[in-house]
């Protein structure tokens, strides 16, 4: 699990002056987070599939299996702090952090049924795809939040607040 945490500052006066702004602000900020972090998750899935060395043989041509293994952490809001991030389960978690894949059976050949052979397992080095992606995109997440909050301020208070 890789977390991102942001604290909102400077909106206290605006929240006190408008009930509508106060009600809409949390949803606006959460949507901005979700939009950008979902895009980041897409790049993490692509990197896991193409750069980890464990690609087409596991994920196939359509890596939709990664959709359930690399997900957005539901945002937690406490006061003025919002915490969210990327959750990795199973093999993507091992690829991210490094670790050992247990011995298992694999299909021999090009997907022929019945021919299963034992695989001894292997050690996977740490790739840190999700950590690097979040570090790289943090400033873009903050810009997305700033832009969304500015739009909400303009909608709520008109041109004089912008």
Quote the pLDDT of residue 54. Answer: 77
pLDDT of 111 strictly over 90:
no
Query: Each residue of 126-147: pLDDT tens digit?
Result: 999 999 999 999 889 889 888 9
110 Cβ contact list (under 8 Å, min separation 6):
none
Query: Each residue of 54-108: pLDDT tens digit?
Result: 766 777 776 678 888 999 998 887 766 778 889 999 999 999 999 999 998 887 7
Q: If you average pLDDT over residues 8-24, what whole number do you get?
A: 77
Q: What is the CA radius of gyration of the chain?
A: 21
Quote the pLDDT of residue 38. Answer: 92
The pTM for the full model equals 0.78
Give the span between the Cα atoms of 79 and 68, in whole angstroms.
30
End-to-end CA distance of the chain: 37
């Amino acid at each position: 699990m890789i977390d991102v945490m942001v604290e909102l500052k400077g909106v206290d006066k605006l929240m006190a002056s408008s009930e509508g702004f106060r009600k809409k602000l949390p949803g606006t900020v959460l949507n901005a987070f979700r939009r950008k972090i979902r895009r980041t998750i897409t790049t993490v899935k692509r990197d896991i599939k193409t750069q980890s060395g464990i690609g087409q043989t596991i994920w196939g041509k359509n890596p939709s299996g990664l959709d359930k293994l690399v997900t957005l952490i539901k945002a937690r809001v406490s006061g003025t702090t919002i915490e969210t991030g990327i959750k990795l389960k199973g093999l993507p978690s091992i690829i991210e952090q490094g670790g050992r894949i247990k011995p298992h059976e694999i299909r021999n050949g090009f997907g022929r049924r019945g021919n299963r052979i034992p695989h001894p397992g292997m050690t996977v080095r740490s790739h840190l795809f999700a950590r690097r992606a979040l570090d790289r995109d943090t400033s873009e997440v903050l810009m997305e939040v700033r832009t969304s909050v500015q739009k909400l301020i303009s909608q709520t208070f008109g041109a004089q607040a912008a």
